[in-house]
């Protein structure tokens, strides 16, 4: 059975930019198993545009138009699916709220909770999300290494 995968921002950026230091890891995963049923949500779309157009982005910033074009081109790849967010942050993160330790995990918690709700997997490079998921939701997180 193929499980739906939601890309964390760090994986989306690495997959989209060949100059990124984790591009090959993201590409290897995507080619091997990720391309079958994958997607992004409003947070990852907005994050991609915010980060890649920032003048300090490395390996190099994109114009807004270029970043938008890259995002649009990714959506044409096989297996793409858009993940809508229809519930509040508080409602979705309730099952593991006690393990959220600070402001830097707010978006990660939303992405993880969306993956849990949709019986999918959040694909990330962020090892800290494993703790937030706990044993109960460990199957909803895939950390690429």
Convert the pLDDT of each residue in 56-93 to its tens digit.
988 778 899 999 999 999 999 989 999 999 999 999 89
- As a 3-state breakdown, the chain gives helix, strand, coil percent values, each rounded to 5, of 55, 10, 35
**What pLDDT band is residue 141 in, cutting at 50, 70 and 90?**
very high
CA distance 49 to 13: 10
CATH of the domain at 130: 3.40.50.1010
Q: How many domains does the chain have?
A: 1
**What pLDDT band is residue 103 in, cutting at 50, 70 and 90?**
confident
* Backbone CA torsion sign across 143, 102, 14, 19: negative
CA distance 111 to 20: 22
Query: Which residues, including other chains, have CB under 8 Å from residue 119's CB and lie 6 or more apart?
Result: 3, 4
The range of the structural domain enclosing residue 22 comes to: 5-143
CA distance 56 to 65: 17
CA distance 111 to 107: 6
**What pLDDT band is residue 1 in, cutting at 50, 70 and 90?**
low
């Amino acid at each position: 059975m193929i499980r739906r995968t939601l890309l964390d921002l760090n994986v989306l950026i690495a997959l989209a930019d060949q100059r990124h230091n984790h591009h090959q890891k993201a590409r290897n995963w995507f080619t091997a198993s990720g391309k079958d049923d994958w997607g992004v949500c409003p947070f990852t779309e907005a994050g991609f545009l915010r980060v890649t157009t920032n003048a300090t982005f490395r390996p190099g910033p994109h114009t807004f138009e270029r970043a938008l074009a890259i995002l649009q081109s990714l959506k044409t790849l096989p297996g793409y699916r858009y993940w809508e967010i229809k519930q509040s942050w508080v409602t979705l993160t309730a099952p593991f709220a006690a393990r959220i330790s600070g402001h830097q995990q707010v978006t990660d918690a939303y992405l993880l909770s969306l993956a849990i709700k949709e019986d999918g997997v959040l694909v990330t490079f962020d090892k800290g999300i494993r703790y937030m998921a706990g044993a109960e939701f460990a199957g909803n997180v895939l950390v690429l290494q």
